[in-house]
Each structure stands twice: as structure tokens, then as C-alpha cells.
């Protein structure tokens, strides 16, 4: 049987209710999670999960304490967590927070750094230090220092400032390669590089005018002792938005592609790509396996010359994080690729565990169907590879009075093997645990 809710739950619930009338929380009423029973020592949300799992509510923001838009998530020693706070889509509103818990399990927040511009990824480097991405730089800081803000140091600066455009892909993300090099996302400054009349915007060579320095993953060589080369080379290109990056121990680099925003809800498909040095993955010319985008002719797109995705995801799934699970709580998930689907359409609100091969590449089926639709009513295109695995949160849809649609961002595995998740739209942090055991 699941444990009952901890004694601090009524206090949290009351603070949520009291804060809903505040102007800065005017939209919060429809984003509050109801809880019912326990989930491994945390209040259980009403989100329907796969059998044997539950989605516990660690924290949901109300008022001024804690992050406004929690994104990145990194476990620290002693059970604490580092959380990046986007703050908003304007520069200077972001922060880095430290999440701790008192003896009764209630969350406690300490803001370590403020005034940042859209911080997102937080990770440990090859030297053991902690690194964080802002929109236009990678920084390092020491969360254990008496004054963490005084320890902030720019590691890589002058990344493109992409905030001032209609189709925003301003966030930086990164992953460390096996030799310590930093692979850094530089998002595209447009949706598909067309003008107001729907015509391709090209340079003298016929290529997209935006593709020379954006829509790519850059490689910064590791110089040792917490230093990286400021100058970079292009590792892979033709990538609209590479927020989701992960490296497998075998050396495989995977990327989750948020595809273009066509008005149709069932097209185009998002992607999982295996990145290689020098690869081009289609943006802004091609989507799916080899389909030219509107505005680009087949001759301009040259889709047959582009690297194809290893797997297609449902349209507008919006994968924002990829991690490999190696925890103790869920032996059946070991080695699987966990991904968060942040999209606001029907594919959103899913945490998916994909089966993988020895190189960490997702296993696929041909002619698969979306696990998220009733009776698998909608399927992938003929001959298209779809991921093989399970959906851990099949019922993370909006239910009036009980729960909003999930907007999961970052995934991280705690020391006990539970899976922690941030939700920036609901200003919340969750914990996926066994439905019948305590932590």
C-alpha cells in the first residue's frame, strides 16, 4: 500500500490556495495539482501512470519563494538539488536555486545567483565542477560556497543572442563529450527560414541565410582545468533546436529535434537523431524522412543528401530532455532512454522510456502507432521508424479540477533511483517512484 501524505502537505496546499488571488498568479488556478494518497513518501498526483509507477508532487510554487520557471535539474550531495530558473523570456530574469528539505520533508529554497538570461542546462563537468548554460554563455559556479554568486565565472561567452525574433530558439544547452569537449546547442533564429510571402530566404549559394552560424551543435575543445576553447567548430548542423542532448557511454550522441511549427496538428514529426561529425539533419529544408518543407523546392532541399532521423516522434511532442536511466528503483528501465515531451498538443505531458541497443540508439518498429492516442488510432508514416518502449505518464492530460496537462522539461535520477521532473508551466517539481514503496 502507498504511504499516506506527509504532515506538511496541508500547509503547502493552503499556501497554494491563498496565493491564487494574487496578480502574479492570475493564471495559476488552472495549473494546480490535486493530490490523493501517497507516492513513495510524497503526495501522489492524480496523473495516471504506467502500472507500478506513481507521480509524486515534490513542490509546486505559490507566491515569491522558489523558481518562477524551473527548467534544469541536478542532484547535489546530501539530497539537495540545483534548479535553474528561466524566469521569463527576457534577459536578466533568470536565477539558479538550491532546493533542500527540512526534517519533515518540506522543501526549502535558497537563491544562489540572480540576474541571469534564460538559464537552462545544469551539469557536472569532467573536472567535477558544476556548469550552467545561459542564453549566450556557459558559466560555472560553486553552490557550496558561502557566496555562490561570487564564484560565477564565464567558461564560454559570446554565444548568439537569439531572443529578438518571432520563433524563439534562444536557449543554450550542452553535453560533455568523452574527451571533455563541450557540445553546445545554438538554436535557429527562425522557424523555417522563409519570408512573409512564404518564399525561401537564400544567400548567393542558394542556402538558407540563417544556416551558416545557427541551427547547429558546436564543439568547443577541452583545454583542461575547467577551461574550454572560446573558438568552436561545427559538430553537426541542420538542427532547429537541440535543447535535448545526451551522450551514451559508448560515445553515441543523441539529439531530440523540435521540428517546425506548421499549423497542422499531425505534421511534421519530431525526431531523435544520432549526431555525427559533419552531419546535416535537414533544417530548414526537410522534415520526417525526406519531405521538403513548404517554401523549399525538392531541388533546393536535397533531402536525399541529409542525415535521416533514427526515429520519429509524434508531431509537436517537443522533446526537451534525454537521459539514460541506470538507477536502482526501476531495474526494468536500466539502459533505457528517458525523454520528456513538453508539447502543448496531445503528445505533450509524456515521460517515455525507449528501449535501446548496446550503443544507446533507440530500438524502433516500422509502422508503429502513437501510444498516447485512444486505441492507437493514429500511426506513423509508412516505412517510418517509431521508438519502442513504454510511456510512464500516459494520463498526464488536463482534467478539470484535478490536474493540468503536463509540461515536463528536465529529467534527473536521484541517488535512490527515483526520477525527478521539472514542469515550467505549472511551476512544479515531481518525483516518479514505485507506487507501493517508500524512498
**Cβ within 8 Å of residue 324, ≥6 positions away:** 246, 248, 335, 336, 337, 338, 356, 360
Element at 19 (helix H, strand E): helix 9-19
Q: Which pLDDT score is estimated for 345?
A: 80
Q: Which pLDDT score is estimated for 261?
A: 85
Whole-angstrom distance, CA of residue 153 vs CA of residue 357: 39
**Cβ within 8 Å of residue 412, ≥6 positions away:** 73, 74, 75, 81, 323, 419, 420
Q: Which pLDDT score is estimated for 162?
A: 56
- Is the sign of the CA dihedral 406, 412, 413, 415 positive or negative? negative
Fold for domain 42-409?
Neuraminidase (2.120.10)
**Cβ within 8 Å of residue 100, ≥6 positions away:** 79, 80, 107, 108, 109, 110
Would you list the domain boundaries of the chain? 42-409
Residue with cell 533505457: 336
Full-model pTM: 0.91
* Tens-level pLDDT at each residue, the chain (439 residues): 333 444 344 334 433 333 333 334 434 667 899 999 999 999 999 999 999 999 999 999 987 789 999 999 999 999 999 999 999 988 899 999 999 999 988 999 999 999 999 999 999 999 999 999 998 899 999 999 999 999 999 999 988 765 544 445 778 899 999 999 999 999 888 888 888 888 999 998 888 987 678 899 999 999 999 999 999 999 999 999 999 999 999 999 999 999 998 888 888 999 999 999 999 999 999 998 899 999 999 999 999 999 999 999 988 899 999 999 999 999 999 999 999 999 888 788 999 999 999 999 999 988 777 665 544 556 777 788 988 999 999 999 999 999 999 999 999 999 999 999 999 999 999 999 999 654 4
Q: What is the DSSP string of 178-220?
A: TTSPEEEEE--SSSSSB-TTS-B-B-TTSSBTTTTTSSEEEEE
Whole-angstrom distance, CA of residue 418 vs CA of residue 330: 8
How far the first Cα of the chain sits from its last, in Å, is 13
**Cβ within 8 Å of residue 35, ≥6 positions away:** 5, 9, 13, 43, 44, 45, 46, 57
The torsion of the CA quartet 47, 52, 55, 56, rounded to 10 degrees, works out to 130
Q: Which pLDDT score is estimated for 374?
A: 47
Amino acid at each position: 500500500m502507498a504511504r499516506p501524505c506527509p504532515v506538511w502537505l496541508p500547509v503547502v496546499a493552503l499556501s497554494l490556495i491563498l496565493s491564487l488571488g494574487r496578480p502574479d498568479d492570475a493564471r495559476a488556478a488552472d495549473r494546480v495539482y490535486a493530490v490523493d494518497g501517497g507516492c513513495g513518501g510524497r503526495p501522489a498526483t492524480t496523473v495516471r501512470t504506467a502500472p507500478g509507477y506513481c507521480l509524486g508532487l515534490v513542490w509546486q510554487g505559490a507566491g515569491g519563494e522558489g523558481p518562477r520557471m524551473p527548467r534544469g535539474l541536478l542532484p547535489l550531495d546530501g539530497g539537495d538539488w540545483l534548479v535553474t530558473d528561466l524566469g521569463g523570456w527576457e534577459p536578466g530574469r533568470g536565477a539558479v536555486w538550491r532546493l533542500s528539505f527540512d526534517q519533515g520533508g518540506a522543501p526549502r529554497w535558497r537563491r544562489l545567483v540572480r540576474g541571469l538570461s534564460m538559464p537552462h542546462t545544469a551539469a557536472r563537468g569532467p573536472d567535477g565542477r558544476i556548469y550552467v548554460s545561459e542564453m549566450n554563455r556557459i558559466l560555472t559556479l560553486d553552490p557550496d560556497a558561502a557566496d555562490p554568486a561570487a564564484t560565477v565565472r564565464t567558461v564560454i561567452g559570446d554565444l548568439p543572442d537569439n531572443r529578438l525574433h518571432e520563433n524563439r530558439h534562444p536557449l543554450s544547452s550542452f553535453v560533455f563529450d568523452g574527451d571533455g569537449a563541450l557540445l553546445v546547442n545554438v538554436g535557429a533564429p527562425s522557424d523555417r527560414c522563409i519570408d512573409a510571402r512564404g518564399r525561401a530566404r537564400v544567400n548567393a549559394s542558394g542556402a538558407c541565410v540563417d544556416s551558416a552560424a545557427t541551427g547547429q551543435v558546436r564543439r568547443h575543445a577541452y583545454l583542461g582545468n575547467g577551461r574550454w576553447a572560446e573558438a568552436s567548430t561545427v559538430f553537426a548542423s541542420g538542427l532547429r533546436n537541440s535543447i535535448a542532448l545526451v551522450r551514451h557511454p559508448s560515445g553515441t550522441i543523441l539529439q531530440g529535434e523540435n521540428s517546425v511549427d506548421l499549423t497542422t496538428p499531425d505534421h511534421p514529426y519530431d525526431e531523435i537523431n544520432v549526431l555525427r561529425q559533419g552531419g546535416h539533419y535537414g533544417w530548414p529544408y526537410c522534415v520526417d524522412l525526406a519531405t521538403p518543407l513548404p517554401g523549399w523546392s525538392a531541388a533546393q532541399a536535397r533531402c536525399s543528401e541529409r542525415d535521416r532521423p533514427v526515429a520519429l516522434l509524434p508531431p509537436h511532442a517537443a522533446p526537451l530532455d534525454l537521459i539514460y536511466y541506470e538507477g536502482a528503483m526501476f531495474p526494468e528501465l536500466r539502459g533505457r532512454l528517458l525523454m520528456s515531451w513538453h508539447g502543448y498538443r496531445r503528445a505533450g505531458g509524456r515521460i517515455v522510456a525507449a528501449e535501446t541497443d548496446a550503443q544507446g540508439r533507440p530500438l524502433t518498429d516500422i509502422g508503429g502507432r502513437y501510444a498516447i492516442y485512444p486505441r492507437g488510432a493514429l500511426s506513423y508514416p509508412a516505412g517510418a521508424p517509431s521508438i519502442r518502449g513504454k510511456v510512464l505518464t500516459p494520463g498526464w492530460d488536463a482534467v478539470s479540477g484535478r490536474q493540468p496537462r503536463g509540461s515536463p522539461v528536465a529529467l534527473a535520477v536521484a541517488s535512490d533511483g527515483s526520477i525527478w521532473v521539472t514542469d515550467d508551466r505549472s511551476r512544479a517539481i515531481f518525483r516518479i517512484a514505485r507506487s507501493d514503496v517508500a524512498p
